């Protein structure tokens, strides 16, 4: 006759809980936008956004080979350009079409 030894379950060490990962609510706001993000925010093509960044119309900084748009300067610029009807006419140009 054989002897049966009962199986005793081992307690496995539970892995340590990871430090709470930042959620979108607790994650700090980014300090800069990319040109693609600004293009999406302004409903522009990426190439047009790059042209505006290079010309200095959109405030941006060059970091190495990358262009970044500081968030606070971008929003200040955006608030300044959308100040009222004097910024652009209803046609989106500097002059009114009714002049001809």
Residue 90 DSSP code = T
Per-residue pLDDT tens digits for 48-76: 999 999 999 999 999 999 999 999 999 99
- Report phi then psi at 77, rounded to 5: -65, -45
Ramachandran region, residue 57 (left: φ > 0; alpha: ψ -120 to 50; beta: rest): alpha
Return d(Cα 3, Cα 83) in angstroms, integer.
Answer: 90
pTM strictly above 0.75: no
For residues 78 and 10, which has the higher predicted lDDT (pLDDT)? 78
- Report phi then psi at 40, rounded to 5: -65, -40
Cβ atoms < 10 Å from Cβ of 62: 10
């Amino acid at each position: 006759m054989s002897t049966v030894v009962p199986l005793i379950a081992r307690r496995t060490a539970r892995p340590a809980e990871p430090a709470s990962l930042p959620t979108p609510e607790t994650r700090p706001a980014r300090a800069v936008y990319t040109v693609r993000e600004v293009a999406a925010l302004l409903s522009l093509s990426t190439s047009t956004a790059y042209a505006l960044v290079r010309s200095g119309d959109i405030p941006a900084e060059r970091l190495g080979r990358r262009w970044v748009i500081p968030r606070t300067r971008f929003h200040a610029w955006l608030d300044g350009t959308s100040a009222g009807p004097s910024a652009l006419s209803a046609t989106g140009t500097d002059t009114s079409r009714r002049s001809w």
